[in-house]
């Protein structure tokens, strides 16, 4: 037993690190959780009394510290490149054949690893201690998130004796499916909006400014690359990639153990097929396999392109499908009154989640596919896409099967439904319909709109159903007492803490920009990009409300359909009253003027469209950077579009841009354009 605080703290740090390794890395715990917590509390008490004894690698640092004001930037050397994708065996063979042409008469061995669907990090250890952790960012520059990374329990803060003096590792941080499910259960119980998927939740978690919140999210880690100096360091022979993975695991770093050396393309294909079939058994999301050349010297000879290494490629899995039965077909009413059919399904596991509902898009699509209640169907869910019905087993239908008849009245308020000309959708035109009100408030409170914490399905439903809220303006009159007394399904109160957070978030939302308010109002055809255009052009809500349809159409990319919709919104007496009450509540009715986005900026006159998911920034951040340099962002591709910025999972906008021969930029090319 050490006597001095210094010796006791050193012993506790070493002992706690040993137990962390036994628990998280080797699954061989020696002590109970209570004893571990007692040792941790003792170390924390010593460090509190003697702050000079607190070290960067102390296990106490995993619980997080005070919030930061922002993230420093760090430059990656070498850059963190993205990967080229292949989607079938033929494309994978074409990649291997290119390698053979570049390296004739050379035997090439591969290493296959599961492509964990998370967020990439660069980890730097100096003298065996974690010194830096940074996000990928744009591949060249990322955010320094060391404090957040320290909260990841599977990440060692200190490496064992014998570790290299300087070790640079690339890794993927992610959230396990089981942790994600538990997190959403907690949010549902407290009336908060549920998270969409583990990957997006991980991305948001890594960039939280309060590392204590990160610690509560229980992220995990998988290391996939030991970055060795080019040509070796002169002291030892460079290791193959497979040997590097084994060495990282020996150092206590988390490495997914499913990786495999493959001596031929046939073995690579077999690995991909094996895990495409088995991926549902995993406790983490994976969207494919990364195939890499094993030999570091061959990697150097192959080199890289502007955005990706030639020696590695990603084989993307097909969207997961499953067979189930349609229990019922119900009508769902959206915030604009659109009534859409939804299939209620026998629960089935698809892409790591239990699916109970699938979209049928509209009643014309339903009739075309001829989906009926009681049908056996195939559903598909790729990544975070909403599950959809792909096909029907018509031959299995019973003799009593009948085609589905679309509703004629609103399933919520009973009003007669209306189908506008040239639209496939049915609509409820009753503005007071509880379903319309509920969805309008959910949209108003959503992340890209007013971003009000806690306004999930349950809470919004209780507020509307209980008569406390009839439109968004009513939200700003809510009190902690009103919210705290609301009862959940288990008859538990929402509670004062959760209620206070929501009321505080409501107060904070009053300072949101005019563009976000315009988007939050839910004007038909007005997305966040169009809302930003209108806010910049008119500057004040009064000027926008007074603009004629002709003046609105003078704004580039605002056509007659959008202009008429905006005009109809502000002509409504109901909406005029809503705006008066929102202004009385203190919301931002004027766009803040910034010094960025000067008319003579380097992107002046250039029009951009953004599509897909960007890894280094959100699309809103990308739009802000474009406008800061004088460019313009619109929501649709046309002959006047100069650039389409295409992230992961780009869809129809990419196809249209290619048809119109619009220049397409990937994320690396976009960053180069901004930098230049």
Q: What is the DSSP string of 333-378?
A: E-TT-EEEEEEEEEEEEETTEEEEEEE--SHHHHHHHT--TT-EEE
CATH number of 5-63: 1.10.287.610
User: pTM of the entire structure?
Assistant: 0.58
CA distance 537 to 554: 10
**Average pLDDT score over the chain:** 86
The more confident residue out of 207 and 597 is 207
Closest to 463 measured CA to CA, from 447, 480, 478, 446: 478
CA 364 remoteness from chain centre: 31
For residue 595, the model assigns a pLDDT of: 41
Confidence bin at 633 (pLDDT 50/70/90): confident
Q: Parse the chain into domains and list their residue ranges.
A: 5-63, 85-316, 320-399, 434-509, 514-584, 607-675
CATH number for 85-316 (one of 3.30.9.10, 3.40.50.2000, 3.30.470.30, 3.40.50.720): it is 3.30.470.30
User: What region, left, alpha or beta, does residue 452 occupy, with left being phi > 0 and alpha being psi -120 to 50 degrees?
Assistant: beta
The answer to whether residues 174 and 202 touch, using CB atoms and an 8 Å cutoff, is: yes
Given a cut of 80, whether residue 652 has pLDDT beyond it is no
For residue 490, the model assigns a pLDDT of: 59
Residue identified by tokens 């409820």 is 428
Model confidence pLDDT, tens digit, residues 51-101: 888 887 788 877 655 545 567 888 898 889 888 889 899 999 999 999 999
Classify domain 514-584 at the CATH class level.
Answer: mainly alpha
CATH number for 320-399 (one of 3.20.20.140, 2.40.50.140, 3.30.70.260, 1.10.510.10): it is 2.40.50.140
Percent of the residues in the chain that have a pLDDT greater than 70, as a whole number = 92
Model confidence pLDDT, tens digit, residues 328-365: 999 999 888 899 999 999 999 876 678 888 888 889 88
Question: What is the average per-residue pLDDT within 134-157?
Answer: 89
Helix (DSSP H) and strand (DSSP E) numbers for the chain? 24, 21
Q: Could you list the active site residues?
A: 115
Given a cut of 50, whether residue 384 has pLDDT beyond it is no
The more confident residue out of 172 and 653 is 172
For residue 61, the model assigns a pLDDT of: 75
CA distance 400 to 373: 11
Say whether 514-584 and 85-316 share the same fold. no
CA distance 253 to 232: 22
Given a cut of 80, whether residue 252 has pLDDT beyond it is yes
Given a cut of 60, whether residue 544 has pLDDT beyond it is yes
Cβ count near 517 (within 10 Å): 24
For residue 491, the model assigns a pLDDT of: 66
CA distance 354 to 167: 41
For residue 420, the model assigns a pLDDT of: 78
| CATH 1.20.1050.140 matches 607-675 | no
Burial of 310 (0-12, 13-18, 19+ CB in 10 A): middle
Distances (CA, A) of 26 to 21, 249, 281, 555: 7, 10, 20, 62
- Extract the runs of DSSP E, i.e. beta strands, from 217-282: 220-226, 260-262
For residue 234, the model assigns a pLDDT of: 46
Given a cut of 50, whether residue 597 has pLDDT beyond it is no
For residue 70, the model assigns a pLDDT of: 62
Confidence bin at 592 (pLDDT 50/70/90): low
Token pair for residue 378? 């195939």
CATH number of 434-509: 1.10.150.20
Cβ count near 353 (within 10 Å): 18
For residue 480, the model assigns a pLDDT of: 94
The more confident residue out of 489 and 312 is 312
Question: What is the average per-residue pLDDT within 131-148?
Answer: 88
For residue 187, the model assigns a pLDDT of: 76
Q: What phi and psi values does residue 8 have, to the nearest 5 degrees? A: -65, -40
The answer to whether residues 379 and 322 touch, using CB atoms and an 8 Å cutoff, is: yes
Q: Helix or strand or coil: residue 285?
A: coil
Given a cut of 90, whether residue 657 has pLDDT beyond it is no
Strand partners, 111: 261, 292
């Amino acid at each position: 037993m050490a006597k001095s605080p210094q010796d006791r703290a050193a012993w506790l740090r070493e002992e706690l690190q040993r137990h962390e390794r036994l628990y998280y890395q080797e699954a061989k715990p020696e002590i109970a959780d209570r004893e571990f917590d007692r040792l941790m509390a003792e170390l924390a008490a010593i460090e509190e009394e003697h702050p000079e004894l607190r070290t960067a690698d102390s296990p106490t640092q995993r619980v997080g510290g005070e919030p930061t004001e922002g993230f420093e930037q760090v430059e990656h050397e070498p850059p963190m490149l993205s990967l080229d994708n292949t989607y079938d065996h033929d494309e994978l063979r074409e990649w291997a054949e290119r390698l053979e042409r570049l390296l004739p008469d050379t035997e090439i061995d591969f290493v296959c690893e599961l492509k964990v669907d998370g967020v990439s990090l660069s980890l730097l250890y100096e003298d065996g201690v974690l010194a830096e952790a940074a996000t990928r960012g744009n591949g060249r520059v990322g955010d320094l998130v060391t404090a957040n990374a320290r909260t990841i329990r599977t990440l060692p803060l200190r490496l064992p004796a014998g570790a290299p003096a300087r070790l640079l590792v690339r890794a993927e941080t992610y959230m396990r499916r089981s942790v994600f499910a538990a997190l959403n259960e907690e949010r549902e119980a407290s009336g908060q909006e549920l998270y969409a998927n583990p990957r997006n939740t991980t991305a948001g978690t890594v960039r939280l400014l309060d590392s204590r919140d990160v610690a509560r999210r229980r992220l995990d880690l998988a290391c996939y690359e030991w970055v060795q100096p080019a040509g070796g360091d002169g002291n030892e022979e460079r290791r193959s990639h497979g040997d590097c993975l084994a060495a990282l695991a020996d150092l206590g770093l988390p490495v997914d153990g499913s990786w495999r050396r493959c001596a031929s393309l046939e073995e690579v294909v077999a690995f991909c097929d094996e895990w495409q079939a088995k991926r549902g058994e995993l406790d983490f999301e994976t969207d494919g396999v990364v195939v890499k050349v094993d030999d570091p010297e061959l990697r150097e000879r192959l080199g890289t392109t502007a955005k990706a290494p030639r020696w590695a490629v990603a084989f993307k899995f097909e969207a997961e499908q499953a067979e189930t039965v349609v229990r019922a077909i119900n009508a769902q009413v959206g915030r604009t009154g659109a009534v859409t059919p939804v299939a209620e399904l026998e629960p089935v596991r698809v892409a790591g989640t239990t699916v109970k509902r699938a979209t049928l898009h509209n009643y014309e699509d339903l009739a075309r596919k001829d989906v009926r209640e009681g049908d056996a169907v195939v559903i598909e869910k790729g990544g975070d896409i909403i599950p959809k019905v792909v096909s029907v087993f018509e031959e299995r239908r019973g003799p009593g099967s009948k085609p589905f008849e679309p509703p004629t009245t609103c399933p919520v308020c009973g009003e007669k439904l209306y189908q506008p000309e040239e639209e496939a959708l049915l609509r409820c035109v009753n503005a007071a319909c509880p379903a319309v009100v509920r969805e309008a408030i959910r949209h108003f409170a959503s992340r890209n709109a007013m971003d009000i914490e806690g306004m999930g399905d349950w809470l919004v439903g209780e507020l509307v159903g209980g008569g406390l809220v009839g439109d968004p303006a009513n939200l700003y009159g809510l009190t902690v007492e009103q919210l705290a007394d609301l009862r959940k399904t288990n008859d538990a109160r929402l509670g004062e803490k959760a209620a206070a957070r929501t009321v505080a978030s409501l107060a904070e939302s009053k300072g949101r920009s005019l563009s976000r308010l315009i988007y939050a109002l839910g004007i038909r055809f007005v997305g966040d990009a169009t809302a930003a255009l209108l806010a910049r052009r008119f500057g004040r809500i009064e000027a926008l409300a007074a603009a004629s349809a002709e003046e609105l159409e003078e704004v580039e990319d605002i056509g007659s359909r959008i202009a008429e919709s905006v005009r109809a919104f502000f002509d409504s007496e109901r909406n005029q009253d809503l705006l008066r009450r929102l202004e009385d509540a203190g919301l931002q009715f004027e766009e803040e003027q910034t010094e960025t986005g000067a008319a003579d900026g380097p992107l002046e006159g250039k029009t951009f469209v953004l599509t897909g998911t960007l890894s280094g920034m959100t699309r809103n951040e990308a739009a802000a950077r474009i406008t800061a340099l004088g460019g313009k962002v619109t929501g649709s591709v046309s002959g006047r579009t100069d650039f389409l910025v295409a992230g992961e999972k780009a869809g129809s906008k990419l196809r249209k841009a290619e048809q119109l021969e619009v220049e397409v930029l990937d994320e690396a090319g976009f960053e180069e354009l901004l930098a230049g």
